Amino acid sequence: MSLARRPKRACRVPGCPALVESGTCPAHGGRAASGWSTPSQSAPDRLRGRQWMALRLAVLSEEPRCYLCGDFAHADDVVDHVVPLAAAGTDDRSNLRRCCRTCHGQKTSREATASHRTAGRP
């Protein structure tokens, strides 16, 4: 059984002659022809899969409290990158801390706001 493909359409960026399956062409931040987006330069350095899960479990078991508010551990705590990956942080153990969901959401929001300001956005 073969799947019918949708006809290609013009890139959403005005004046771009590229044809794409949806959205924008790779030159304008869209998906590559394979359907996967281009990984960031830091992507190969990131831990994934079993390695990340082992490190995550180690952080959660070693640290009984949220490093921001000091609240005791909850089942839904996350492992936070003190220096965000987007700001050249790493998956090194020294950059990882246990964080409750509330504090993590607030920290992520502050970081997003700060990155918008530094990028010249209002």
Number of other CB atoms surrounding residue 23 within 10 Å: 13
The pLDDT value given to residue 8: 80
> Which residue from 90, 79, 82, 84 is spatially nearest to 115, judged by alpha carbons?
84
Q: Answer whether residue 92 is part of any domain.
A: yes
Range of the domain at 76: 63-118
Tokens found for residue 88: 């050249």
The pLDDT value given to residue 31: 54
Q: Answer whether residue 113 is part of any domain.
A: yes
User: What are the residue ranges in the chain where pLDDT is below 70?
Assistant: 1-4, 30-45, 118-122
Write the CA distances from 77 to 2, 4, 5, 87, 105, integer angstroms: 44, 44, 42, 22, 11
Q: Answer whether residue 52 is part of any domain.
A: no
Q: Answer whether residue 91 is part of any domain.
A: yes
The pLDDT value given to residue 13: 79
Q: Answer whether residue 81 is part of any domain.
A: yes
How far apart (Å, rounded) are the C-alpha atoms in residues 19 and 93?
44
What is the average pLDDT score of the chain?
A: 81
Q: Answer whether residue 106 is part of any domain.
A: yes
| pTM, 2 dp | 0.60
Number of domains in the chain: 1
Q: Answer whether residue 10 is part of any domain.
A: no
The pLDDT value given to residue 38: 46
Q: Report residue 37 CA to chain centroid gap.
A: 13
Q: Answer whether residue 94 is part of any domain.
A: yes
